[in-house]
Amino acid sequence: MTIILFIIVLAVLILVHEFGHFITAKKLGMRVDEFGIGFPPRIFAIKKGETEYSINSVPLGGFVKIFGEDPDDTSINGPDKGRSLINKPKWAQAIVISAGVISNVIFAWFLIAIGFMIGLPVSVDQPGFEDALDQKVVIVDVKKDSPAMNADLQIGDKLVSLSTESETIKDFGEDKMRDFISVHGGEEIEIVIERGKNNTVTTSAIPIAGILEGGYAIGIATDVVGIAKLSFFDALWESAKLTKDLLIAIVESFAGFITSLFDGTGNFSNLAGPIGIVGMVGDASQFGWVYLLNFVAFISINLAIINSIPFPALDGGRLLFIVIESIVRKNIKPIVTNTLNTIGFVLLIVLMIAVTYNDILKLF
């Protein structure tokens, strides 16, 4: 079920991206030869006007064929050259190439807005969400080789109660939780958590010294999370702010990773490929549809940022070619752009294989 869900998520995100290219190319008078759902081999196709709409057998997204996207003699000098992407003004080319990335960001904004209207989990530390409903202490990190890890506490677990032989606490905040754990150092604490949707788990841990300065702890970091349920317009506004914050955070994280590759501190093991994302989709779905919507929005923003990188075969690389052509006032020879895009595509496939191999190693 998780794999099927992952395929659906991936297909939707790629279709959203390709639809952005498709609709802007149409609106700007470019010839679109095909809009495909899935990848070949083809199952069937319907031609409406000049465009073929196809259903294909590999359900991993979709594609759009814009006349002149990969320039050849026909698209440059043929009878329909005026509707070729390569012969359109640079601003029109830039809009079409950018439209996929923009569509992914808009889609993320839309999903987060739906989440806010249904009821989205938020940190009550965020301004404006102090009165969020159903506030609970949630684990956001588990220290390696700690009592918490040995007790199988996991990120996302909601703390329901803490008990010793002499005392039990419920409906507590972070301060009360920390104080309870600290004063019961060396004692076994029974921990009741809510994991996923309506799944209660009981475990135990013994607080030890040395994790926190001056006290006992079990090795967890927590946050107080509540449910924010907003009206339509408030949801759109808060979703826009959260989308902006996610964009900034992901760009900064990615920039930090790139920088670390040059100073020798980079760690590819932190990257997740298809297999890793399958697991994340499954984990998110266990917490409910709202969590899944939020995670899909996060992946959509990641796809937008990755596609914006100025690397051949990516939208950012195609935009870079357009910028260079605008500066030198001369088109780059098609054989150069096509060759660079092919090389870039091969390198991306190699990277994907390496990351997938890393995902497999993490399973063992």
Catalytically active residues are 18
Q: How far apart are CA 279 and CA 269, in angstroms?
A: 16
Distance of CA 208 to the CA centre of its chain: 36
* Range list of H helices, the chain: 2-27, 73-77, 90-118, 147-150, 174-183, 232-263, 274-286, 289-307, 315-328, 334-362
Q: Quick check: 207 and 189 in contact, CB under 8 A?
A: yes
Q: Quick check: 300 and 108 in contact, CB under 8 A?
A: yes
> Counting beta carbons within 10 angstroms of the beta carbon of residue 275, is it exposed (0 to 12), middle (13 to 18) or buried (19 or more)?
middle
In Å, what is the CA distance from 14 to each residue of 23, 183, 244, 296, 298?
14, 52, 21, 12, 14
**Pairing state between β 158-163 and 189-194:** antiparallel
Q: Quick check: 222 and 212 in contact, CB under 8 A?
A: no
User: Six-digit token pair at 288?
Assistant: 């409910």
Q: Quick check: 30 and 67 in contact, CB under 8 A?
A: yes
Radius of gyration of the chain (CA): 25
Q: How far apart are CA 218 and CA 150, in angstroms?
A: 10
